[in-house]
Structure 1
Amino acid sequence: MEPRTESKNEKPWSKETARPSLRQTQHKFSRMMSDDNQDAFRSVSRKPGLQIWTINNMQMVPVPAQGFGNFFEGDCYIVLYISQSKGSGQSADIHYWIGKSSSQDEQGAAAIYVTQLDEYLGGSPVQHREVQGSESPRFRSYFKNGLIYKKGGVASGFHHVDTNVYNVLRLLHVKGRKHVTAAEVEVSWNSFNTGDIFLLDMGKAIVQWNGLQSNRREKLKAVLLAQDIRDRERGGRAQIGLVEGGDEQDSPELMKVMTAVLGQRTGSLKEAVPDDRPDQAQNGSVRLYHVFENSGNLVVQEVATQPLTQDLLHSSDCYIADQGGSSVMVWKGKQASKEERREALNRAVGYIKAKNYPPSTTVEVMTEGGESALFKHLFKSWRDKGQTQGLGTTYSVGKIAKVDQVKFDVMELHARPELAAQQRMVDDASGDVKVWRIENLELAEVNPSTYGQFYGGDCYLVLYTYQRSNKQQYILYMWQGRHATKDEITACAYQAVNIDNEYNGAPVQVRVVMGKEPRHFLAIFKGKLIIFEGGTGRPGAVNPDAGARLFQVRGTNELNTKATEVLARASSLNTNDVFLLKTDHICYLWYGKGCSGDERVMGRAMSDVLSKQDKQVVMEGQEPAEFWVALGGKAPYASDKRLQKEEPPHSPRLFECSNQTGQFRMTEVDDFAQSDLDEEDVMLLDTWEEIFLWVGKSANQHETKEAWHSAQEYLRTHPAGRDPDTPIIFVKQGYEPPTFTGWFNAWDPHKWSDLNNTNLSKSPVGTGGGGYRAPGGPVSSPPLYRVHGGDLSPRPSTPTSPSTQRAQPPVSMNLSPSASFTPSSPAAGGTVSPSAGGSGMYLDPELLINKSPSELPQGVEPDQREAHLSDADFENLLGTSRPDFQRLPKWRQNDLKKKAGLF
């Protein structure tokens, strides 16, 4: 990009109008503006993962991991997310978040620190300005359980999240279907409306109230948020209750609690508040401005309107791309002056003020060579000038060495399996490993020679031991096979509690769903992790003869490689990867045209683990006839030329099309995966040369009809001037072609068929087990809603997250205005004694299973534990209905109770 010649068509704004927050307070931050100020960034890690700081007395203060997702309205925060992508090294995004009650000084300090942090990381990160309540989808995607806005800030002394603190009374207003936000509101019925969800948090109990017009997905997201509060802030010991706003009479005890806290409700609740967030997919009006200073004034000169072309950008200048006021993007040329680069973010804020745009307008700032995918999509054509490697090669102020791509200090953990993992990489994976398999509901040690081999019909426990500060630390992974039975999944959770108790509660427990293995889990098996789709690894077991077996190998080194069994059909191949085809006589090592040398090396190493037979290397396009015969014949597979490049010219984008809010909307899904395909909606996948419309089986007719029109409108209004005749491909759930699935990593062809399959046998096409599957997401365990008195029990439950697997004492309801929940005897809580028929008080099974008489809740007879189970839990544990159980002989009843741990 060459230097440009200035035009006379200029529009000046004064500096005071353009950037008052920085200029007027610059003298307060003179030390911060110093080039030598590196102290603030000593805690910054360049490893993949999430890091957060808040501004305290104009200094960056790290936020502990347990506080991630909690934002105080009086503060400003800096959020750094570093990701590792295939072929392109690392990329970084820096966000600075502005609380609605934060001071101008804090906002100014945060803006300066963001600029300096950008320079410290070599100038390649994309900078984002986030305003409370209007955060970008990318920002929200970091916090899988949602954002919680809290009152106060540094000045009030409330600056961290404590664990096991129960002196809490607050009302959270929850909004969002994909990325949830929860804001503290007045603890009053006046805060409620019929369209949203509210969490009444009373410390030892959390009551979720679902508005009449809220939908299933919103309710699930709110449940996950409530569980997250329970697990992170209450040590897993709080109880969760559920009230349906349209059926409050079904939850009389909970309504008594809510009334005691909120007062008697008078009148009707407010109607649903519509979501006025602009439609992100159809902001098509784009203008490009050249921004510079002239005699102390900020000058903004219009360069072009859509469609934009890349040659409009010149390396010696800075530009603003204005997407119709919905977002403002700043591009910094690599030859622009240091002052211009530093002022880029502040100029964007000044531009927003000068244009009278809302303060919540999204802002992104990027350096030449480090453009975001969204920015590139604004241009008719975009060509990268070579591939950057790691942070800092595009812009070398920070003089950052090439980042090691395999060793990680820390990374964030995903709290729920349906969303992409954010796990801590606690060390270099050189610690000790011990593996057990669940056999007959008991622990069976796995032969170390088979460590790393996981079968989809089994559940495993993996204990990892490492040293930190001369002290042993533990991580306990609970790996759940896709085809494991309900009993095995339950036993896995139960045995994890036993191991946790054996180590005095020291292990960090991580629930791992098949196919969602976190980075550290991959690393501890040193490039030998193999996931078999079905069957069992039990000694002596005979698995069904699968004939030829096909494994997809992904990874570039021993710390990030795994082999996943896929359907042995030609359609499973992908030109970007290495595949192993194992037959009775030979093992083919198939190299796709798009795989790297490192991937081939790891594929070769994996083949030695999978097969002792002769190996034959097969290059894509040179397959022998026997290869195709083993796969059942040739068939189309993901081999599009676009996929052969490490960085496609235009990254694919996924949009959710839904009218569940009463208005048809298209919302972009950031960093998408197969689990983001919602069965109740229509999804639009833009791969640039075609548009896919994916229709979930439960999508309504209106959504399907509108999606066609929206796809056409999307092309017509696209800022890059797209061809309106671009093919639009209609794809139904369960019938996805390889040209669609090839854009998703580790596509699971049985994902949705498992939902409707009740076969619990250990076959490759078995059921998904007894877990609860979130919409479009992987299997998880159902949430627990239990309280002494039986009213917090909307559905059967089995153990869920590690924190819920602890034995929890029953609690009784104190209906005082403080609404605190305190442990007491059943009598004190006014509970009803259970009858032999099972009516009255129901308890969570975890309080009853495998407990000695002294460990049972008061009022529970050791030989009558089953009487305290709900009907659904009774059938789930004992395998028969309560009336049928009563008709069995006594010895048979006792036998069933013994097997269920109720004797």
Structure 2
Amino acid sequence: MSESDSSFGGGSGGMELDPAFASIPKNKSCLCIWRVENFKLVAVPRESHGIFFKGDAYVIYHAEEIKKSTGSSSTIASSLIQHIHFWIGSEATQDEAGVAAYKTVELDDHLLGNAVQHREVQGNESERFLSYFKSRGGVTYRQGGIASGFHRHQSTNEPRLFHLKGRHTVRLFEMPAIDWSYISRGDVYLLDLNEVIFIWNGSKSNKYERLQAMHRAKQLRDERGKTNIVIIEDGEEMKMSKDELKLFESKLSLKDKKLNLNETIDDNDDDTRSDGAHIKLYKCSDESGTLKVTEKKVGPLVKSDLESEDAYIVDNGAHGIWVWVGRRSNPKERREAMRNALGFLQKKGYPKMTKVCRVIDGAEPMEFIALFKTWLDSNAQKGLGKTYTKGHIAKMVSSQFDVTTMHLHPQLAAATQMPDDGSGKKEIYRIEQFKMIPYPETMHGIFFSGDSFVIQYTYNDQQNSYTLIYFWLGHHSSLDEQGAAAIGAVELDKKMNGTATIIRVVQDKEPLHFMAMFHGHMIIFKHGKRSGFRNLQYYDENNSENDDTYLLQVRGLSKYDTKAVQINIYCISQFNFFFHLIDLRASSLNSNDCFVLFTSQCVYIWCGKGSTGDEREMSKVVASSKSKEPIMVFEGQEKDEFWSHFPSGKEPYASDKRLGEHQSALNNMNDHPARLYEVSNASGRTTAIEIPNFTQADLDEDDVMLLDAWTSIFLWIGKNSNKTEMKDAERIAYDYLRTDPSNRDSDTPIIKTKQNYEPIHFTGFFGPWDRNYWTTKSSYEATKSMLHATNRSEIYAELIKEKPKQNILNRTTVTKYSYELLLKPADELPEDVNPELREIHLNDEEFFQRFKMTYAEYTSKPVWRQKELKKMAKLF
């Protein structure tokens, strides 16, 4: 059976399949986790998914059935996307890590090599890995491992102290002991006593982690059925009730806080987006029997750099190493790809925790594709003319535009970037002398590359009215004019009390909706106001003396995305106002498009062999702006009269016929899903932090968010975001485009939208959208009060009962041994040493050195506290 025959089973290459893998559901979405125990894989029960012991190694298999929307309420199942991760704890042995890596290869063989392989290291996992556990409140790192006697994943009732990190994707780190020395003012901690969870918020901790701590504690309470949650603010411990304070101090005495509290503050809680300007490509070869890695290129990269006969390493520095294995590469290269990548990692001196991922030709994940400037579809144009790249949105699914469908299915509006059909009300202003001057309605749809324009567009849905403010920047307009257009857009927004969505549009990068406003009749001429606007006479129907000749190229696949661009122009002004000659040549023609040639005698529509019927119909619309009936001219059937209008006559031109059509906008959205980033300056520097598997709940009203929809960049402004973040937001968007490893176009449209005034082509990226979400969302204080109100006071009575004191042997009579000897395993201790009472064999001086207290003080502590102190001294 070939790789293309199935995505599951039967490919173990003669190797006996591990019985652990027999439980994997075939051709279904699932998440399976195994822990390495005594060189074997043992399944982790579902209720313990997301809990990882730092002394262990794991194998994780995730499969997701991708569905593609058809634009209606139905969906069509697509391929099964498979990922295998092997996770290495910070204290896992080399043998355990090796078993996990080997079993990953074994499972991949069973899956016929179709899965993406990931190497994950504790604390630096990929966003994809972390996203698997987002619904479970994030990942939890526990102390110990299989070698330490933790043979089961079920939690115990022992008290535990957890350090919470992460504003969006939560990580819980179990501390070695419950002690103030493991607590910092800059962070949030959960003291989990099972029946009671104390949340301690450091005075310099951030509000996001405080909220996350409450959500995580509530989730634990819901799982257990009865648990009190007590929120404590640093310095306000005495505000707890008498019973709460007594219980808290039985674990963390306030007398020890000032002495032992860690004052270090670490605000590096999330990975920020990397600068991919120096991404590198290496070719791997083992022809001589020894692996040879040769640098092939420094970014930007394109798909054609990868050849299916070979294997390559894409080096994104400390942010990750990718191994790409071609479909026609040899089996050895496939099996050893991950090992070779780890060798490359070591040779480069990158940190051991650097993420490493192996991908297969034809099954590349979005994270890998995003590193490339272009990733051509298999049916894309190979020659001149229109080509499909990952940034191109093609025609509408249907030529009949149904506005109601957009509001019923906002994901369609998001995919096409069409909030409505463009039939709303528009007011257009042209920048003249740095002021906005109303643009005549008769000129709507006619633009000049030497000018900048501002368009205020208003439309209605079934309930509300929305306003979009576009500012359009011609290629040859001055920077001052462009600045005036941007300021003009902001001023219009202010008049509307800041409720409008502002969109920056650069000539030739017009989004679909922009063109839809002109109903298939958008023309861009060269020059502008500074050149006297001689071009206005092109559309002066009453000027019979207008004998200018010019050529328009018509592009577009439907009424909603057709525009004509003046590519060459030959003008002679009867007033000798100016003389301008711009190479009007037949070589400008292209077999894939339609062109409209305007002359003083007639109008020609030239139709290339690769042009579509829609393009020809739209050309008629453009040509109809003149009173003359257009003459249709088909490629290969031109008469000499047609060529006579070109100064150089007939010449060769691009004639490669289109080999395939653009895929639909919906498929483009599936292939290149949107990515959300939080823009913040909370740490004193502006950062952009990616949020995986985002929903509306991830839009924080205190921040600016950046949504990368590939064909456009949205900046979402939270109502409480600070002025610095708002000011830096647009710069962040430019920097984001500039540093993208795929070498993005800096003229990609940037759209500013504000909280509570989001258009549907923004909300469609977030799944179900609740217009009342922020009005009904509980604040921090409200959530805190709600959790406190559900606490039950009777829980404390049992917990704060005095425990009987431990029987104490006569310490003065036992033999004393060195601390080093008492650290030995139980079977190597002297016969008279009880492994559970090692501490009594220390002399007074060494006991105080290790426990920071006298033996009498130690014995006065509760039993649980004695255990914690012994753990800290490594005598437990």
**TM-score of the two chains, using structure 1 as the length reference:** 0.53
Aligned to 1:223: 214
Structure 2 residue 361 is the aligned partner of structure 1 residue 368: yes
TM-superposed CA distance for 1:722, in Å, is: 1.4
TM-superposed CA distance for 1:293, in Å, is: 2.2
Q: Map 1:555-704; keep pairs closer than 5 Å.
A: 572-574=407-409, 643-645=665-667, 648=670, 650-704=672-726
Aligned to 1:305: 298
Q: Map 1:146-185; keep pairs closer than 5 Å.
A: 146-162=138-154, 165-166=156-157, 168-185=158-175
Deviates more, 1:34-43 or 1:125-134: 34-43
Aligned residue identity for 2:119 = R
Mapped to 2, the partners of 1:695 and 1:372 lie a distance apart of: 30
1:282 paired residue among 275, 282, 305: 275
Q: Map 1:397-436; keep pairs closer than 5 Å.
A: none
Mapped to 2, the partners of 1:643 and 1:811 lie a distance apart of: 63
Deviates more, 1:300-309 or 1:734-743: 734-743
Aligned to 1:192: 183
2:113 paired residue among 101, 123, 141: 123
TM-superposed CA distance for 1:81, in Å, is: 1.8
TM-superposed CA distance for 1:334, in Å, is: 0.9
Preserved contact between residue 281 and residue 668 of structure 1 (Cα < 8 Å): no
Instruction: Please state whether the residue corresponding to 1:734 is helix, strand or coil.
Output: coil
Mapped to 1, the partners of 2:154 and 2:131 lie a distance apart of: 24
1:726 paired residue among 740, 743, 748: 748
Mapped to 2, the partners of 1:629 and 1:788 lie a distance apart of: 48
Mapped to 2, the partners of 1:721 and 1:189 lie a distance apart of: 48
Please list every run of 5 or more consecutive structure 2 residues that lacks an aligned counterpart in the other structure. 1-11, 69-77, 381-401, 414-419, 422-459, 469-511, 514-559, 562-662, 807-876
Give the 3 Å change call, closer, same or farther, for CA 681–169 of structure 1 in structure 2: same
Give the 3 Å change call, closer, same or farther, for CA 347–374 of structure 1 in structure 2: same
Preserved contact between residue 150 and residue 184 of structure 1 (Cα < 8 Å): yes
TM-superposed CA distance for 1:104, in Å, is: 1.0
TM-superposed CA distance for 1:246, in Å, is: 3.6
TM-superposed CA distance for 1:296, in Å, is: 4.0
Preserved contact between residue 410 and residue 764 of structure 2 (Cα < 8 Å): no
Aligned to 1:56: 37
Mapped to 1, the partners of 2:766 and 2:756 lie a distance apart of: 15
TM-superposed CA distance for 1:199, in Å, is: 1.3
If you compute each CA radius of gyration, which structure gives the higher value, 1 or 2? 2
Mapped to 2, the partners of 1:785 and 1:292 lie a distance apart of: 66
Instruction: Please state whether the residue corresponding to 2:665 is helix, strand or coil.
Output: helix
Mapped to 1, the partners of 2:94 and 2:326 lie a distance apart of: 29
TM-superposed CA distance for 1:242, in Å, is: 1.5
Aligned residue identity for 2:205 = S
Preserved contact between residue 196 and residue 211 of structure 1 (Cα < 8 Å): yes
Aligned to 2:238: 249
Q: Map 1:707-856; keep pairs closer than 5 Å.
A: 707-755=729-777, 772=778, 782-783=786-787, 811-814=797-800
Q: Map 1:225-624; keep pairs closer than 5 Å.
A: 225-232=216-223, 235-251=224-240, 253=242, 254-263=244-253, 264-265=255-256, 266-267=258-259, 269-275=262-268, 278-385=271-378, 572-574=407-409
Mapped to 1, the partners of 2:90 and 2:465 lie a distance apart of: 61
User: Structure 1, residues 384-418: CA drift from partner, whole Å, max 9, x if none?
Assistant: 4389xxxxxxxxxxxxxxxxxxxxxxxxxxxxxxx
Preserved contact between residue 77 and residue 96 of structure 1 (Cα < 8 Å): yes
Give the 3 Å change call, closer, same or farther, for CA 651–34 of structure 1 in structure 2: same
Mapped to 2, the partners of 1:112 and 1:158 lie a distance apart of: 23
Aligned residue identity for 1:80 = Y
Preserved contact between residue 410 and residue 761 of structure 2 (Cα < 8 Å): no
Instruction: Please state whether the residue corresponding to 1:325 is helix, strand or coil.
Output: helix
Preserved contact between residue 165 and residue 172 of structure 2 (Cα < 8 Å): yes
Give the 3 Å change call, closer, same or farther, for CA 331–386 of structure 1 in structure 2: farther
TM-superposed CA distance for 1:670, in Å, is: 1.6
Give the 3 Å change call, closer, same or farther, for CA 671–122 of structure 1 in structure 2: farther
Give the 3 Å change call, closer, same or farther, for CA 125–814 of structure 1 in structure 2: same
Aligned residue identity for 2:39 = M
User: Structure 1, residues 192-225: CA drift from partner, whole Å, max 9, x if none?
Assistant: 1011111112233221111112223211211222
TM-superposed CA distance for 1:382, in Å, is: 0.7
Structure 2 residue 73 is the aligned partner of structure 1 residue 78: no
TM-superposed CA distance for 1:288, in Å, is: 0.8
What is the number of residues matched between the two proteins?
A: 523
Aligned residue identity for 2:211 = L
Give the 3 Å change call, closer, same or farther, for CA 135–271 of structure 1 in structure 2: same
Instruction: Please state whether the residue corresponding to 2:773 is helix, strand or coil.
Output: coil
User: Structure 1, residues 716-760: CA drift from partner, whole Å, max 9, x if none?
Assistant: 1111111222221111111112332233323333433555xxxxx
Give the 3 Å change call, closer, same or farther, for CA 715–812 of structure 1 in structure 2: same
Give the 3 Å change call, closer, same or farther, for CA 737–260 of structure 1 in structure 2: same
Mapped to 2, the partners of 1:743 and 1:629 lie a distance apart of: 18
Aligned to 2:394: none
Deviates more, 1:94-103 or 1:294-303: 294-303
Q: Map 1:137-152; keep pairs closer than 5 Å.
A: 137-144=127-134, 145-152=137-144
Aligned residue identity for 2:742 = A
Aligned residue identity for 2:226 = R
TM-superposed CA distance for 1:257, in Å, is: 2.9
1:136 paired residue among 119, 126, 131: 126
Mapped to 1, the partners of 2:222 and 2:112 lie a distance apart of: 38
TM-superposed CA distance for 1:630, in Å, is: 8.6
Give the 3 Å change call, closer, same or farther, for CA 76–665 of structure 1 in structure 2: same
Structure 2 residue 23 is the aligned partner of structure 1 residue 43: yes
Mapped to 1, the partners of 2:194 and 2:714 lie a distance apart of: 46
Mapped to 2, the partners of 1:818 and 1:58 lie a distance apart of: 42
User: Structure 1, residues 321-350: CA drift from partner, whole Å, max 9, x if none?
Assistant: 111321111111111111111111121111
Mapped to 2, the partners of 1:774 and 1:642 lie a distance apart of: 43
Give the 3 Å change call, closer, same or farther, for CA 816–743 of structure 1 in structure 2: same
Mapped to 2, the partners of 1:97 and 1:308 lie a distance apart of: 29
User: Structure 1, residues 120-178: CA drift from partner, whole Å, max 9, x if none?
Assistant: 22322222111111112221122121211111111223133336x43x02211111111
Instruction: Please state whether the residue corresponding to 2:297 is helix, strand or coil.
Output: strand
Give the 3 Å change call, closer, same or farther, for CA 705–343 of structure 1 in structure 2: same
User: Structure 1, residues 633-684: CA drift from partner, whole Å, max 9, x if none?
Assistant: 9999999996332655533211111233444221112222222212122111
Aligned to 2:49: 68
Aligned residue identity for 1:359 = K
Preserved contact between residue 575 and residue 643 of structure 1 (Cα < 8 Å): no
Mapped to 2, the partners of 1:817 and 1:225 lie a distance apart of: 30
Instruction: Please state whether the residue corresponding to 1:261 is helix, strand or coil.
Output: coil
Please state which structure has a larger fraction of its residues in helix: 2
Give the 3 Å change call, closer, same or farther, for CA 731–152 of structure 1 in structure 2: same
TM-superposed CA distance for 1:813, in Å, is: 4.3
Give the 3 Å change call, closer, same or farther, for CA 575–118 of structure 1 in structure 2: same
Give the 3 Å change call, closer, same or farther, for CA 703–575 of structure 1 in structure 2: closer
Instruction: Please state whether the residue corresponding to 1:86 is helix, strand or coil.
Output: strand
User: Structure 1, residues 89-137: CA drift from partner, whole Å, max 9, x if none?
Assistant: 3212221110011111111111111122223223222221111111122
TM-superposed CA distance for 1:371, in Å, is: 0.6
Instruction: Please state whether the residue corresponding to 1:280 is helix, strand or coil.
Output: coil
